[in-house]
Amino acid sequence: MRVYGLIGCPVEHSVSPIMQNAAFTGLGIDATYCSFHVIEDNLGDAVNGIKALGIAGFNVTIPHKESIIPFLDSLQETAVGIGAVNTVENVDGRLVGYNTDGRAATISLKNATGLDGRKVLVLGAGGASRALCHALLDEGVDSIYLANRTPKRAESLCGELRKAGGSCTPLGLSKRELAESVKDVSVVVNCTSVGLYPRVDETPFPGELFRSDLVVMDIVYNPLETRFLRDARDAGAQTIPGIEMLVWQGALAFEIWTNKKAPVGLMREQALRALGGGGGK
């Protein structure tokens, strides 16, 4: 039996084991997936242990997505661009790092709308935003408005995206700036943590600025429908819940490890069930 896992801190509430084990069982693959609570000080030992034990692959979550890099043998191009790793494959004892977060987000968006030539408003300038923005450039978007509470962080990420060949405008999260920029876009994505349980009444975006012609996605998946998405839906916009990105980042990792098409429907059903939205906990 091959063993896969998740390392992070905390990992106790992750739905990845449920999704991945369902996928292995669904496809009759003799493998199992477990989560490992690894504190920062133990990261090097954990990676050595993974190699010594022959663990076939693993996901990496907060707070190790960047600090894992020096412990890996090589990085796939996307992970180099983003500067963070969420998936590792053990290829004959050599650990290869990937990042499936950005492409998971663009696949989720592309199930609702084309991205080529589009203008996109992205809220947030942290790790999730960086992964999404790089993937948006890969999809050929026309330009990105990057709105962040701390303007310096938006400026710095915009500088990085311009170097990668993109067109990017940094801004703050004031209503005036958001109103001005949203006029020009067809897609809005929340990459901040605002609205995450338990602060479910908060939103980073004034609801009255949504329009029915927008496609709106949130990366927050707990709650399944955030205030941000509810406001967008109330305005008639097309909404994409954060669980889509969660499911697709897992599906893409599964495909890297197994070279088989991931059973995305099954993984979504299990993730929804685990998060309390698809037939109870």
What does the binding site for ligand ATR look like in residue numbers (CB under 6 A)? 124-129, 148-150, 153, 173, 191-194, 204
* Tokens at 66, concatenated: 């960047």
Q: Annotate the chain with three-state secondary structure.
A: CEEEEEEECCCCCCCHHHHHHHHHHHCCCCEEEEEEECCHHHHHHHHHHHHHHCCCEEEECCCCCCCCHHHCCEECHHHHHHCCCCEEEEECCEEEEECCHHHHHHHHHHCCCCCCCCEEEEECCCHHHHHHHHHHHHCCCCEEEEECCCHHHHHHHHHHHHHCCCCEEEECCCHHHHHHHHCCCCEEEECCCCCCCCCCCCCCCCHHHCCCCCEEEECCCCCCCCHHHHHHHHCCCEEECCHHHHHHHHHHHHHHHHCCCCCHHHHHHHHHHHCCCCCCC
Nearer to ligand ATR, 35 or 192 (CB): 192
For residues 228 and 214, the answer to whether their CB atoms sit within 8 Å is: no
The least distance separating ligand ATR from the CB of residue 192, rounded to whole angstroms, comes to 3
Q: Spot the catalytic one: 51, 65, 119, 175.
A: 65
Cα 238 → chain centroid: 19
CB closer to ligand ATR, 82 vs 253: 82
CB of 15 to ligand ATR, least distance (A): 16
Smallest gap from residue 154 Cβ to ligand ATR (A) = 8
Tell me which residue has its CB nearest to ligand ATR: 126
> CB 33 → ligand ATR: shortest distance, Å?
22
Catalytic site residue 281? no
- Minimum CB distance to ligand ATR smaller for 32 or for 61: 61
Instruction: Closer to ligand ATR by CB, 57 or 124: give it.
Output: 124
For residues 221 and 275, the answer to whether their CB atoms sit within 8 Å is: yes
Residue among 23 and 82 whose Cβ is closer to ligand ATR = 82
Q: Minimum distance between the CB of residue 190 and ligand ATR, rounded to whole angstroms? A: 9
Active site (catalytic) residues: 65
